[in-house]
Chains A and B, each alone.
Chain A
Amino acid sequence: EPEVTQTPSHQVTQMGQEVILRCVPISNHLYFYWYRQILGQKVEFLVSFYNNEISEKSEIFDDQFSVERPDGSNFTLKIRSTKLEDSAMYFCASSEGFYSQETQYFGPGTRLLVL
Chain B
Amino acid sequence: DAKTTQPTSMDCAEGRAANLPCNHSTISGNEYVYWYRQIHSQGPQYIIHGLKNNETNEMASLIITEDRKSSTLILPHATLRDTAVYYCIRSGSARQLTFGSGTQLTVLP
Contact = CB atoms under 8 A, between A and B. Distances in A.
Interface of A: 4, 31, 33, 35, 37, 39, 42-45, 48, 55-56, 58, 89, 91, 93, 95, 97-109, 111
Contact of A37 (B30, B41, B94, B96): B41
Q: What's the interface size class on B, roughly? A: 20 to 34
A31 B94 contact: yes
Contacts of B38: 43
Contact of B42 (A4, A45, A93, A109): A109
Contacts of B51: 101
Contacts, number: 70
Contacts of B96: 45, 48, 56, 58
A45 B96 CA distance: 6
Interface of B: 2, 30-32, 34, 36, 38, 41-46, 49, 51, 87, 91-101
Contacts of A97: 94
Given A89-B41, A91-B44, A104 B97 contact: yes
Contacts of A108: 42-43
A31 B95 contact: yes
A35 B44 CA distance: 10
A104 B41 contact: no
A100 B91 contact: yes
The CB with the most chain A CB atoms within 10 A, among B46, B93, B94, B101, is that of: B94
B100 A99 contact: no
A98 B36 CA distance: 18
A100 B31 contact: yes
Nearest to A101: B32
Given A43-B99, A100-B30, A106 B44 contact: yes
Contact of A101 (B36, B41, B94, B99): B94
B46 A109 contact: no
8 contacts: A35-B97, A42-B99, A58-B96, A97-B94, A100-B92, A104-B94, A106-B45, A109-B41
B49 A103 contact: yes
